[in-house]
Amino acid sequence: MRFNAKDLALLARRPTDCFDKEGKLKICRVVGDEKLIEPRERWCRLKGNLLFLMKNKSSEASEVVILERCWVVEFRKKTDVSIVLKFQSGEPDLYLEAASRPDCESWAVALGEANSEGLRNKIQQLRRLIMEIKEERSSDEARQFLPSSQVDSLGEPQFTSIQRTANEPKLEFSLACKDLVSATRDRKLNTFIQVSVVHPAEHILTRYSSTEIVEGTRDPLFLTGVTFPPEYPIYEETKIKLTVYDVKDKSQDTVRTSVLPDHKEPRADVGQSFLGCTTFRVGDLVKSKEQQLTLTLRTSDGGKTVGTIEVNLVKMGELEGGETDHVTTDSQDQKFLCFVPLKSCSCGFLCATRAHNTENLERMTDRQAKEECALVRECTAPEGISGKDNLPSLNAVLKNPICKLYRFPTSDNKWMRIREQMAETTLSFHVPKELINLHIKEDMRRNQELKDLGELAPHWDNMRQSVIAHCDQMLRMYQDTLAELGKHTGSSFKSSCSKGEKTLEFIPINLHLQRMHVHSPRLKDALYDVITVGAPAAHFQGFKNGGLRKLLSKFEAERRNTGYQCIYYSPENTAKAKEVLSNINHLQPLISSHADLLLNSASQHSPDSLKNSLKMLSEKTELFVHAFKDQLVRSALLALYTARPGCVLKKPAVPRSSAEEEGDAQHRDHPSQVKRQDSIPHHSEYDEEEWDRVWANVGKSLNCVIAMVDRLLERDNISNIKEGENDPSAADCKVLHTGGDWYEQLYPLVITLKDCMGEVVTRAKQSMAFVLLQELACGLPQCLMLTLRRDIVFSQALAGLVCGFIIKLHTGLHDQGFLQQLHTVGLLVQYEGLLSTYSEEAGMLEDMAVGISDLQKVMFKVIEAKSEDFLPIITGRREHYIIEVQLPAKMFELLPQEIKEGKLLRMYPVLFNVGINEQQTLAERFGDTTLQENINQENLQLLKEYYKLFTEKMPPDCLPHFQEQNDLKGLLENLHQNIQAKKRKNIEIMWLAATICRKLNGVRFTCCKSAKDRTSMSVTLEQCSILRDEHQLHKDFFIQALDCMRREGCRIENVLKNVRCRKYAFNMIQLMAFPKYYRPPEGTYGKADT
């Protein structure tokens, strides 16, 4: 373009007050993501649409940037202080870096409003503001004529609340347009309405929601309504602004799919054009006789009329007496829907649109049916399906629910109604915090046990000090993480953008309940739940060296070949050592407590109480004695003895058990083990029989207590027996029974039992702590880092499992067959993975496989809640956790006696993975898919074992009647064949596994990297497939239903929650590699952060 250089130079040197903005910025040109040169500091001056770049404030302008046909890209992270100017001409982007975040935001606003388009937007805003001022002038003038006493009494503005039923939305209305005017006569309109709210106290315009796009008509009826939740601050004085746009290109539908500042209008060149707008007061709608407003749409200058908008107030329950649904068409063949009564809709939302002349659905033509779209409604506070009794306990778990309602035609031309719900859960943070707290206690206890080992030889003592130092460092990390999580407020879910944050690495990614409630004309209402969550993985630690599956295998191989520094114990032995220590810590206080109760019963001279106390003491002591039968304790005591200072070999080795001889055979096979014996002698002056005597003394002491109690009860019952009669069992105890008080007779025996038990505990604790010392010392620091990684992955997996169990328990409370299955067999938990086996996702899959496998060690227990806190309680240790789920008294009474008595409930987790994206294509053609094949085959065996257990323990009539139509055995065989076939992207595996899970009353999970994009495609496909196969969805409506759920349903809301953008993170090239039914509709995908 032509310009006058002298005039521009003169303009650049004008005083500061002549410029819109000026200041220092670091600037460079950018091509793609690469900077051509390092950013250089420049003094920048903005005047209109001209940006002058100068070396310093007093120098000449070295460059002028014309801010036309460009846009500003502002980075959303709080730490970013840079923005990028992108030009439509294709020239390199201009990178600008400010000194601070506020300065960066200020420059972004100034540059965004600098061009002629920004000037036009300002003019439009001013015109609209003038129109609103004119509307308010009449009421303001009337206020001026009020007596001064009345004006003074008004004080602060008082707003009129809208009276609605508790837990129901404050306001709901539907929208329809008529006689819209197109800028081009021959062009058909594709319109949607943007809804904004003007708060009466602040007079600030806030964008609230949008409708769906209705194509090809001048009289669109919008199937998406507007809902204001109970907590939303809306009053009769609130104004609502409705703006109608014409979408030229659905793939550029950025107004509905992106998040812009509230005060800005969308750009005019991004795929849509402004048609008209109007405003109304909420009070006018609520108080209107017909509860309907007909408003005139006008252009931005308020001059030209471009059509009308009809706003219909929707009230819950008014039309519940209605019968069948009806449809009719107008001259443009657009479908109109009448009021739809949803009696079964427990969220209280009545699906309704504008009433028109009607015609029965049975008279619909095929052409009309194909053009019909689902009715979508949204509400925010759904109640439970099974009534209000379970609301308190569910509300403690679920939070921020979103509800969408649809209706689709069935194959016999009836309407089915579907409610889709999505809710985040408070367990996302509650479970990890409880788990970390248990880890801290367990690690503190372990560190103390290592310190209590006593005096060790210098080699072993140095090893112990090193282990304790590393463990203390890891313990502080857990404590810091718990402290950071304690500070967390706000949303109860972790977004996909935060998966790499260190402070949130224990939190599951994007954990939500996805529920579909189907109300069919001729079938019973049905619920289908899926838990969606990002694959449990340690994202912050990364996947450079693979995931847990590979890392654990490699670590164990290296530990086997450890040199002379430590003694090798197998993973089974170390797990056994942890179990023994756990049993000691659990049983010792119980035995002491029961012994005290026994003495208390004796002092009260109560025979019944004495019998009961003795029974409990005997049971716990027998468990205690049984815990030390393992040969590991004996061998560990020997190893610990050799590690004491001054231990020398004084006599030949004593005979050892066969287990120890096998150990010697292993030493001969491994030269490094022989080398280790030179510095750690395994044979010394150690009496192995001493441990047997100490251990057996506990049983003997218990027998003495039992004999004494029997003697006392016998003397109490048979008064004619001579006091001096000999009793063999009592003679063994060497106690003379000459009468006297029961307490005095039992006290010395109980003290002896406690002393014997204390000696056993001391020796066993030290020996097992020595075993754990070897495990830690052999792999520092890798051992602790692997433990941390495994804890992170397990925490994410456990949070999802607890959520799934609680939801399943609530929905199955009235199903006696399910409850019987729960305590007799256990609960099947099926995970559907969508991760590829290429690059980092292979490491994620390895993490996920180990985390899900670790869930086998989790047991559930249902207890009656004693307070209003219904959150689950977690107890136990690593590799053995018990989750106590609390239920209100009314719900607890519905459970079988076995569950009420505290029977532990087992979990059977299985994982089936099929990669579906473009990275899986690379893995199948150029990489390796062995990992996926092995995981699927291993878990198929687990699934078959569960089915075998199920058929052996459960009666054949326990499954719902409609499931008998499909043979589970046949489905399992089909699944087996598909896994063996090794077909590329065989999505049949996922469908078969999900079907088997539902038929076995299992809990369904769907996972991808962030549970946002691929998961959304899978969940919506599963929902529509269920509607087709189980509820007779009309075959011509399958694709329409699928697109509707993906475009307007809960999953696009999930995308918005995660990345603040209504676009799935796919591009066209990626989708070419996706299976056909996993591709989103046009306009719902594009570039987005993930």
What DSSP letter does each residue of 210-240 carry, written as one string? E---EES-SS-B-SB-EEE-TTS--BTT-EE
Q: Which residue in 793, 795, 771, 775 sits closest to 784, CA to CA? A: 775
Q: Can you tell me the distance from the alpha carbon of 700 to that of 697, in angstroms, rounded to the nearest whole number? A: 5
Q: Strands 21-31, 93-97: parallel, antiparallel or unpaired by DSSP? A: antiparallel
In contact, 229 and 209? CB cutoff 8 Å:
no
Which parts of 48-150 are beta strand (E)? 50-54, 61-66, 70-74, 82-87, 93-97
Looking at residue 984, what DSSP letter applies?
A: T
Question: Which phi and psi (to 5°) does residue 463 adopt?
Answer: -60, -45
Q: What is residue 958's predicted lDDT score, i.e. its pLDDT?
A: 65
In contact, 439 and 447? CB cutoff 8 Å:
no
Q: Which residue in 1020, 1048, 1081 sits closest to 374, CA to CA? A: 1048
Q: What is the CA radius of gyration of the chain?
A: 37
Q: Give residue 310's identity as a one-letter amino acid code.
A: E
Q: Can you tell me the distance from the alpha carbon of 573 to that of 663, in angstroms, rounded to the nearest whole number? A: 13
Query: Going by C-beta distance under 8 Å and a sequence separation of 6 or more, which residues neighbour residue 714?
Result: 721
Query: How far, CA to CA in Å, does 459 sit from each of 466, 564, 601, 685, 988?
Result: 11, 11, 52, 20, 58
Q: What is residue 643's predicted lDDT score, i.e. its pLDDT?
A: 85
Q: What is residue 329's predicted lDDT score, i.e. its pLDDT?
A: 33
Q: Which residue among the candidates 1008, 1024, 1044, 1061 is catalytic per the annotation?
A: 1008
In contact, 851 and 835? CB cutoff 8 Å:
no
SS (H, E, C) 411-479: CCCCEEEEEEEEEEECHHHHHHHHHHHHHHHHHHHHHHHHHCCCCCCHHHHHHHHHHHHHHHHHHHHHH
In contact, 347 and 381? CB cutoff 8 Å:
yes
DSSP secondary structure string for all residues of 995-1034: HHHHHTT-EEEEE-SSSSSHHHHHHHHHHHHHHHHHH-B-
Looking at residue 384, what DSSP letter applies?
A: P
User: Is 756 tagged catalytic?
Assistant: no
Query: How far, CA to CA in Å, does 536 sit from each of 812, 940, 1011?
Result: 27, 20, 11
Predicted model pTM? 0.71
Q: Which residue in 907, 901, 908, 900 sits closest to 883, CA to CA? A: 907
Q: Can you tell me the distance from the alpha carbon of 446 to that of 452, in angstroms, rounded to the nearest whole number? A: 10
In contact, 629 and 583? CB cutoff 8 Å:
no
Cis peptide before 781 (omega within 30 of 0): yes
Q: Which residue in 816, 904, 795 sits closest to 859, CA to CA? A: 904
The pLDDT > 90 percentage for the chain reads: 35
Query: Going by C-beta distance under 8 Å and a sequence separation of 6 or more, which residues neighbour residue 972?
Result: 943, 944, 947, 996
Residues of the chain with pLDDT under 70: 1-3, 32-36, 74-78, 124-125, 127-158, 163-169, 185-186, 223-225, 229-231, 249-271, 314-392, 562-565, 647-688, 718-740, 957-966, 1087-1090
Distance between terminal CA atoms of the chain?
Answer: 41
- CB count within 10 Å of CB 283 equals 16
Q: What is residue 989's predicted lDDT score, i.e. its pLDDT?
A: 95
Q: Can you tell me the distance from the alpha carbon of 51 to that of 64, in angstroms, rounded to the nearest whole number? A: 6
Q: Can you tell me the distance from the alpha carbon of 285 to that of 937, in angstroms, rounded to the nearest whole number? A: 61
Q: Which string of b and e fits 1041-1080 if b means at least 16 CB within 10 Å?
A: bbbbbbbbbbbbbbbebbbebbbbbbeeebbeebeeebbb
Q: Give residue 736's identity as a one-letter amino acid code.
A: L
Q: Please write the tens of the pLDDT for every residue from 3-21.
A: 677 788 888 888 888 888 8
Q: Give residue 571's identity as a one-letter amino acid code.
A: P
SS3 assignment, position 314: coil
The first and second tokens of residue 665, run together, are 């055979």
In contact, 422 and 1057? CB cutoff 8 Å:
no
In contact, 796 and 507? CB cutoff 8 Å:
yes
